[in-house]
Chains A and B, each alone.
Chain A
Amino acid sequence: MKIERWLISLLIFLTAGTMSLFSPDTVYRTFPLIFGVVSILGYIFKYMFILDTGIFLTVISYLFAVGRLAPTLYNLIMIMTFFFFIIGIWFYARNTLSISGMEGVRNDSYDIGLAEFRRSSLNEIFTTLVIGVLLSLLASFIVLYSSLGIALGTLVETLLMVGLSASVFFIIYLVIKLFSLENKRIEES
Chain B
Amino acid sequence: MNISRQRPFAYLVAFVVAGVFLGNIFGSWVYFTVSIFSLSILVLAVRSLPPEEFEIKIHRGSAEEGRDVYVDDELEITITIENKGKKIRFLELHDTLPGLLDVVEGSSHQILELDEGEEKEVNYKISCPITGNFELGPVRLRYRDALNFFSKKMEIDEEMEIRVLPRTEDMEKVDIDPSYTKHWLGEVKSKNIGVGSEFFAVREYQPNDELRDINWKATARYLDPLTNEYEGEKSGDVILVVDGYEEGIVGTMKNNTMRASIGIAASLAEVLLSARHRVGLIVSGEYMNWVYPGTGRNHYHNLMSNLTKFESGGVWGLEGIQWLLEEFFPRKSMIIFISPLTVPGSSHTLIDLCMKEYDVVLISPDPLKIEKEVMEEDEYEETAERLYGAERKEILDKLWAHGTIVVDWDPNEPLEPTLEEVLRYRHRRR
A98 within 8 A of B: yes
Number of B residues contacting the other chain (C-beta, 8 Å)?
A: 63
Do the beta carbons of A98 and B44 come within 8 Å of each other?
no
Contact mask for chain B residues 11-55; partner A; CB cutoff 8 A; 1 contact, 0 none: 100110011001000101111111011011111111111001111
Q: Which residue of B lies closest to A97 (CB)?
A: B148
* Chain B residues, CB < 8 A from A90: 8
Closest A-chain residue to B31, C-beta based? A63
User: Considering the chains assembled together, what is the distance between the CA atoms of A112 and B116 in angstroms?
Assistant: 21
- A183 CB-CB contact with B under 8 Å: yes
B3 near A: Cβ within 8 Å? Answer: yes
- A41 in the interface (beta carbon within 8 A): no
Stretch at the interface among A2-10, A13-21, A152-160, A170-178: A170-178
Q: What are 14 A-B pairs at a CB distance below 8 A?
A: A63-B19, A90-B8, A113-B110, A117-B111, A132-B40, A135-B40, A139-B36, A139-B40, A140-B36, A175-B39, A175-B42, A184-B53, A186-B56, A187-B85
Q: Which 9 A-B pairs have the closest CB atoms?
A: A124-B146, A135-B40, A121-B146, A113-B111, A117-B111, A183-B2, A186-B54, A67-B28, A132-B40
Does B135 count as interface, using CB distance less than 8 angstroms?
no
Count contacts on A: residues with CB < 8 A to the other chain: 65
Closest to B54 in A: A186
CB of A1 within 8 Å of the partner chain: no
User: Is B32 within 8 A of A105, CB to CB?
Assistant: no
Residue pair B55, A76 in contact (C-beta under 8 Å): no
- Residues on A with beta carbons closer than 8 Å to the beta carbon of B15: 56, 59
Is A91 a contact partner of B54 (Cβ separation < 8 A)?
no
Residues of A within 8 A of B8 (CB): 52, 90-91, 94
Residues facing A in B101-146 (CB within 8 A) are 102-103, 105-107, 109-113, 124, 144-146
Find chain B residues with CB under 8 A from A132 CB: 37, 40-41, 44
For the complex, what is the distance from the CA of A129 to the CA of B7, rounded to whole Å?
A: 18
Q: Is the CB of B29 within 8 A of A95?
A: no
* Known interface pairs A84-B37, A107-B107, A136-B37; 13 further A-B residue pairs with C-beta atoms within 8 A, sorted by A's residue number: A79-B34, A94-B8, A110-B107, A117-B111, A120-B113, A123-B146, A129-B41, A135-B40, A136-B33, A140-B33, A140-B36, A178-B49, A184-B53
Instruction: Let me know if A188 and B56 touch, CB within 8 A.
Output: yes
B348 at the interface (CB under 8 A from A): no
For residue B109, which residues in chain A have a CB less than 8 angstroms away from its CB? 102, 105-106
**Is A162 at the interface (CB under 8 A from chain B)?**
no
Check A63/B34 contact, CB under 8 A, given A48-B7, A120-B113, A136-B40.
yes
Output the least CB separation between A165 and chain B (Å).
15
Contact of B147 among A52, A67, A91, A136 (CB under 8 A): A91
Q: Which residues of B contact A76 (CB under 8 A)?
A: 33
The smallest C-beta distance from A169 to any residue of chain B, in angstroms, reads: 12
Contacts of A102 in B (CB 8 A): 92, 109, 111
Complex Cα spacing A55 to B111, Å:
28
Name A124's contact: one of B18, B19, B49, B147 (CB within 8 Å): B147
- What is the minimal beta-carbon distance from B34 to any residue of chain A, in angstroms? 6
- Residue contact A124 to B145, C-beta cutoff 8 Å: yes
The smallest C-beta distance from A51 to any residue of chain B, in angstroms, reads 9
- Cα distance A123–B47 in the bound complex, in angstroms: 13
Cβ-neighbour of B148 out of A69, A95, A131, A140 (below 8 A): A95
